[in-house]
């Protein structure tokens, strides 16, 4: 999942994402609880187009899929949501049969006769899964099915929705079958993702190009109003088909109060209202004034809240504010468009030079207050396949200059004496944090003779440019969709190139062959060994200059309840609670 946001600058983005930038207000006279908070720019509500955290978070409020994660349980566990139970799996592992829960209805909407939502059927999932594969929609999520589902690649050539697709079969109204061309150990993980959520065909056809602005799902909330870059409001979905707060967690959850609401119907909130706030100063003041429930910490405010011992300041403790510190299965990087004639192709020496020119330990110190650590592998710590092998392009400006000369740019100039000028896109237009980060990279590249131009874009424009492959360098990040290194390595698989998740358009035949091998292997020491070989290939070709792994710091108010960080799920809003304050 793309790990970028437009909100208050990139240095605070990881922290802010973790809590959804949520706030609250006291209960109203009617007893309803409203969640007031801060949101950001995002694509819209179409599940096939939610390849970033901001969009996924909003989609998960109104749509649902067959499966979801158990909110509190660790290790991470998949449980039924719109499926009645976990699927029956054939002995060869190629056929999964799901039975749908009865009585689940799409929310009321004008797209249905009489405005009344109808019951969800297995055919709705077949239609939704086909939409994800439709090449006209250019979804970055088609990878969850395209190389795995029986007949998917053949169906895509014509994309006729009235034609059968052998891998998706509605056996009857309540039974759905997914048939695979080969084993797919990650299938249950990916079915929790927003890409696999169900939508009604009536809504897609009724709203046409405006469908992304008119969500019609089965989720706990429904959209009430949306004014882009200003305000978005949700209300409880009155036809939400029953779910209760979990009664099972891990050791320590009961003592932390995370099981106090066990068995209560969800959602626990009646309304969610979010405002788009661009500057971190404004967000910080809102948090101190008690107007929002949580705040991340950017570098300029870190020392105001955190002691040299990396604990919460006494002043904030006296207010009852709480601190969380959470490692993330995430990596930040600078990607090179491998189709670009300057930085792409076989010019790996130039890409390696850029990596060697950036003082990542200094970046962690001056930009991130040592909350982040230098990355050494595209697979982050805590994920099988990560190693502690040193990054081969550690900061070394002299080596960067030698590599530039090897690449044909001695002293940062080409054979005609013209200076080497590179252009990088990043989100954060108007953000002080993003500007400071851009200046850091510009200064470091200038020191070795390279002129770097950074284009700070609005979040939506950034996503469009990345999706289309319209960039030379891109500042980006990825948070794991599920706890498997395969999810990070797919970012380098050739067939996933733009508009897919391989945004750098990297291709290496040996890597692709190994990826196709590991994609059908269950978790095993043999698979982990192949992961390590694949990482070595990527590091040698250097389609990314690796930057950092985050340790997320965030603050939340005492009256914000039931929050437990889950890095692979964005569907947890229904469990959150606020107290009168």
Return the HEC string of 490-505.
HHHCHHHECCCCECCC
What was the pLDDT predicted at 398?
98
pLDDT confidence band for 103 (50 / 70 / 90): very high
| Mean pLDDT computed over 132-152 | 94
For the entire predicted model, the pTM comes to 0.82
Q: What are phi and psi of 566, to 5 degrees?
A: -135, 105
Domain 64-201: give its CATH architecture. Answer: Alpha-Beta Complex (3.90)
Percent of the chain with pLDDT over 90: 72
Distances from the Cα of 377 to the Cα of 134, 248, 355, 515, angstroms: 33, 35, 13, 17
| Nearest residue to 431 via CA among 411, 456, 454 | 456
Strand order in the sheet with 34-39: 34-39, 271-276, 231-236, 221-227
pLDDT digits (tens, 9 = 90+) for 253-298: 999 999 999 999 999 999 988 888 878 888 889 889 888 888 888 7
Q: Exposed, middle or buried: residue 157 (CB in 10 Å: 0-12, 13-18, 19+)?
A: exposed
Q: Enumerate long-range contacts of 75-84, CB under 8 Å, 24 or more apart.
A: 75/483, 76/482, 76/483, 76/566, 76/568, 78/188, 78/189, 78/191, 78/192, 81/243, 82/120, 82/198, 82/218
pLDDT confidence band for 233 (50 / 70 / 90): very high
pLDDT digits (tens, 9 = 90+) for 487-524: 999 999 999 999 888 999 999 999 999 999 999 998 89
Give the range among 32-46, 142-156, 168-182, 464-478 with minimum mean pLDDT: 32-46
What was the pLDDT predicted at 31?
45
* Helical H segments across 250-347, by residue range: 280-288, 299-305, 314-318
| Nearest residue to 278 via CA among 41, 52, 456 | 41
Residue extents of the structural domains in the chain: 64-201, 330-552
Given a cut of 90, whether residue 104 has pLDDT beyond it is yes
pLDDT confidence band for 433 (50 / 70 / 90): confident
What was the pLDDT predicted at 36?
67
Compute the distance between CA of residue 407 and CA of residue 422 in angstroms, rounded to an integer.
14
Given a cut of 50, whether residue 23 has pLDDT beyond it is no
**In contact, 241 and 105? CB cutoff 8 Å:** yes
Given a cut of 70, whether residue 219 has pLDDT beyond it is yes
Compute the distance between CA of residue 281 and CA of residue 429 in angstroms, rounded to an integer.
16
Compute the distance between CA of residue 549 and CA of residue 477 in angstroms, rounded to an integer.
10
415: tokens are 């054979």
Given a cut of 70, whether residue 19 has pLDDT beyond it is no
pLDDT confidence band for 565 (50 / 70 / 90): confident
Give the range among 26-30, 364-368, 423-427, 470-474 with minimum mean pLDDT: 26-30
What was the pLDDT predicted at 6?
30
What was the pLDDT predicted at 42?
81
Q: Exposed, middle or buried: residue 323 (CB in 10 Å: 0-12, 13-18, 19+)?
A: middle
pLDDT confidence band for 484 (50 / 70 / 90): very high
What was the pLDDT predicted at 327?
83
What was the pLDDT predicted at 13?
36
Given a cut of 70, whether residue 7 has pLDDT beyond it is no
What was the pLDDT predicted at 2?
55
Domain 330-552 maps to which CATH number in 3.40.1190.10, 3.40.50.2020, 3.10.105.10, 3.90.1180.10? 3.10.105.10
Given a cut of 70, whether residue 27 has pLDDT beyond it is no
What was the pLDDT predicted at 500?
86
DSSP state of 270: S
What was the pLDDT predicted at 10?
33
Compute the distance between CA of residue 43 and CA of residue 159 in angstroms, rounded to an integer.
24
| Mean pLDDT computed over 201-208 | 98
What was the pLDDT predicted at 3?
45
Given a cut of 60, whether residue 25 has pLDDT beyond it is no
Given a cut of 70, whether residue 22 has pLDDT beyond it is no
Given a cut of 70, whether residue 343 has pLDDT beyond it is yes
Q: Give the number of residues written for the chain.
A: 581
**What is the Cα 503 distance to its own chain's centre?**
14
Cα dihedral 316, 322, 326, 330 sign: negative
What average pLDDT does the structure give for the chain? Answer: 90
What was the pLDDT predicted at 397?
98
């Amino acid at each position: 999942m793309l790990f970028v946001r437009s909100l208050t600058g990139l240095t605070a983005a990881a922290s802010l994402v973790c809590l959804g930038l949520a706030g609250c207000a006291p209960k109203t006279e009617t007893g309803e609880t409203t969640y007031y908070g801060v949101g950001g720019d995002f694509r819209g509500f179409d599940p096939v187009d939610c390849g970033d955290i901001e969009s996924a978070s909003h989609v998960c409020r109104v749509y649902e899929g067959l499966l979801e994660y158990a909110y509190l349980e660790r290790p991470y566990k998949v449980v039924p949501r719109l499926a009645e139970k976990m699927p029956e799996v054939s002995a060869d592992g190629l056929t999964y049969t799901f039975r749908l829960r009865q009585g689940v209805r799409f929310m009321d909407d004008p797209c249905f006769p009489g405005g009344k939502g109808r019951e969800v059927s297995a055919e709705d999932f077949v239609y939704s899964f086909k939409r994800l594969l439709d090449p006209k929609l250019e979804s970055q999520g088609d990878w969850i099915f395209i190389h795995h589902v029986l007949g998917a690649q053949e169906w895509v050539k014509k994309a006729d929705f009235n034609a059968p697709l052998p891998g998706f079969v509605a056996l009857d109204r309540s039974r759905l079958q997914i048939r695979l061309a080969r084993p797919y150990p990650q299938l249950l993980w990916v079915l929790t993702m927003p890409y696999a959520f169900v939508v009604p065909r009536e809504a897609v056809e009724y709203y046409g190009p405006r469908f992304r602005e008119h969500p019609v799902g089965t989720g706990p909330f429904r959209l009430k109003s949306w004014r882009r870059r200003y305000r978005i409001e949700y209300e409880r979905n009155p036809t939400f088909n029953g779910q209760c707060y979990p009664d099972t967690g891990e050791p320590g959850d009961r003592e932390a109060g995370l099981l106090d609401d066990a068995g209560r119907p969800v959602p626990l909130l009646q309304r969610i209202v979010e405002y788009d706030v661009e500057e971190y100063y404004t967000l910080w003041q809102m948090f101190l004034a008690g107007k929002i429930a949580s705040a991340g910490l950017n570098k300029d405010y870190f020392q105001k809240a955190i002691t040299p011992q990396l604990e919460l300041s006494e002043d904030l403790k006296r207010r009852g504010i709480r601190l969380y510190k959470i490692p993330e299965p995430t990596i930040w990087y600078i990607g090179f468009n491998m189709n670009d004639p300057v930085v792409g192709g076989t010019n790996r020496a130039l890409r390696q030079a850029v990596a060697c020119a950036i003082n990542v330990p200094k970046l962690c110190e001056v930009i991130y207050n040592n909350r982040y650590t230098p990355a050494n592998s595209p697979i982050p710590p805590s994920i099988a396949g990560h190693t502690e092998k040193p990054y081969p392009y550690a900061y070394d400006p002299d080596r960067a200059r030698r590599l530039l000369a090897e690449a044909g740019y001695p002293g940062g100039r080409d054979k005609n004496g013209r200076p080497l000028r590179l252009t990088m896109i990043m989100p954060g237009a108007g953000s002080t944090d993003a500007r400071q980060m851009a200046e850091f990279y510009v200064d470091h590249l200038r020191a070795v003779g390279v002129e770097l131009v950074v284009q700070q874009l609005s979040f939506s424009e950034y996503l469009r440019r990345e999706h289309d492959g319209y960039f030379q360098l891109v500042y980006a990040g990825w948070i794991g969709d599920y706890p498997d290194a395969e999810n990070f390595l797919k970012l380098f698989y050739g067939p996933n190139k733009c508009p897919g998740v391989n945004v750098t358009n990297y291709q290496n035949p040996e890597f692709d062959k190994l990826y196709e091998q590991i994609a059908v292997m269950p978790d095993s020491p043999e698979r982990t060994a192949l992961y390590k070989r694949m990482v070595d290939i990527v590091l040698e070709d250097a389609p990314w200059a690796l930057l950092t792994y985050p340790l997320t710091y965030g603050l939340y108010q005492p009256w914000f309840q039931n929050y437990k960080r889950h890095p692979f799920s964005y569907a947890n809003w229904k469990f959150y609670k606020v107290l009168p304050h």
